[in-house]
Amino acid sequence: MTNTKQKVRKFYDEVGWKQEDDGNYQNARYEDLRPVSSEYIRKTRLRVLNGLLPNGRFLLDAGSGPVQYEEYKTYSAGYQKRVCLDISIQALREARNRIGQHGWFVVGDLAHLPFKDGAFDGAVSMHAIHHLALTEHPNAYAEIYRTLAPKRTAAIVNGWSDSPLNRGAENLLRWFRKLRGLPVKEKKKLGVDSAEGTFVEKINPAWIRRELGSKMTVEIKVWRGLSTNTLRSYVRPFGGRVLLRLVFWLENAFPKFFAENGQYPLIVIKK
């Protein structure tokens, strides 16, 4: 196992999937957990169902973590078993606590899946492939494709390396704060380890078309346009819910724009 993968595993075993004082996993820090955003967040998580067939025998959850949010359980509701694969045993212990008999739990590497061709009637992978070095991303997609049964689909979510929409929103806020003489936070660099996180490397829509387009049928759909930073900066308790209903409506009305310029696409692979 590469050094990077060992570091990622250690991070999730010792930090990411440990509960903090508020009862949430450390990993939940990257989500906007405020009540005002909850409806938008919940509805965007359910968009994964737009990329999955509803019924089948086995659903693969590659990099499952603990299946931490209630909406995640709906992905496998019509499947006999959810096969949770993760590099972190702590993730799988927690997943077993949450879905019990409905799950099978496998420690493994999503870039080298220990399953036979065509084993799954569906697959999801949420925020996990980005923990691989960029050179291994094609393997991860190829492995999900290989283990998918013919005519079935996989739904994959990872953030883009750059989101013009959220970059614009962030720059606008910085400009506004500067104008008012308020302190402006330094921008965080992507693609590096940070004190509270671990290794991530992200891609862009051109990468998806170039690396996957000739090998499999792939569609870039919208999952969630707004980043956690944008939500925290712009969505206020008063009027925030209405604003987010408008955003959600806009995402549905202009899916191609939000899929490619927003923060998180839903990559749908068809076999």
Ligand X SMILES: C[S@@+](CC[C@H](N)C(=O)[O-])C[C@H]1O[C@@H](n2cnc3c(N)ncnc32)[C@H](O)[C@@H]1O
Q: Is 223 in the site for ligand X (CB under 6 A)?
A: no
Contacts of 27 (CB under 8 A, 6+ apart): 12, 16, 17, 65, 68
DSSP state of 48: G
Q: Is 123 in the site for ligand X (CB under 6 A)?
A: no
Among 40, 41, 47, 68, binds ligand X (CB under 6 A): 68
Among 41, 59, 113, 128, binds ligand X (CB under 6 A): 128
What x-and-dash track marks residues 16-45 binding ligand X by CB under 6 A? -----------x------------------
Number of residues that bind ligand X (CB under 6 A): 21
C-beta separation of 86 from 65 below 8 A: yes
Binding segment for ligand X (CB under 6 A), chosen from 48-56, 60-68, 224-232, 253-261, is: 60-68
Nearest distance, CB of residue 173 and ligand X, angstroms: 26
Pairwise CA distance, residues 243 & 261, whole Å? 19
Among 7, 127, 174, 270, binds ligand X (CB under 6 A): 127
Q: Which two tokens stand for residue 135?
A: 């050179």
Pairwise CA distance, residues 245 & 50, whole Å? 19
Q: Is 103 in the site for ligand X (CB under 6 A)?
A: no
**3-state SS class at 44:** helix
C-beta separation of 218 from 175 below 8 A: no
DSSP string, 132-167: S-GGGHHHHHHHHHHHEEEEEEEEEE--BS--HHHH
Pairwise CA distance, residues 142 & 138, whole Å? 6
Nearest distance, CB of residue 159 and ligand X, angstroms: 10
Q: Is 165 in the site for ligand X (CB under 6 A)?
A: no
Residue 216 CB burial class (10 angstroms; 0-12, 13-18, ≥19): middle
Region 200-219 residues binding ligand X, contact defined as CB under 6 A: none
Nearest distance, CB of residue 109 and ligand X, angstroms: 4
Complex with ligand X: residue 16 or 240, whichever CB lies closer: 16
DSSP string, 210-262: HHHTTTSEEEEEEEE-S-HHHHHHH--TTTHHHHHHHHHHHHHHSHHHHHHHS
Nearest distance, CB of residue 168 and ligand X, angstroms: 25
Q: Is 263 in the site for ligand X (CB under 6 A)?
A: no
Among 37, 44, 76, 88, binds ligand X (CB under 6 A): 88
Q: Is 63 in the site for ligand X (CB under 6 A)?
A: yes
Among 32, 86, 94, 251, binds ligand X (CB under 6 A): 86
- For 219, half-sphere exposure in the C-beta direction (CA atoms, 13 angstrom radius) is 15
Residue nearest ligand X, Cβ-based: 65
Nearest distance, CB of residue 115 and ligand X, angstroms: 13
Q: Which residues bind ligand X (CB under 6 A)?
A: 5, 8, 12, 27, 63-65, 68, 85-88, 91, 109-111, 126-128, 131-132
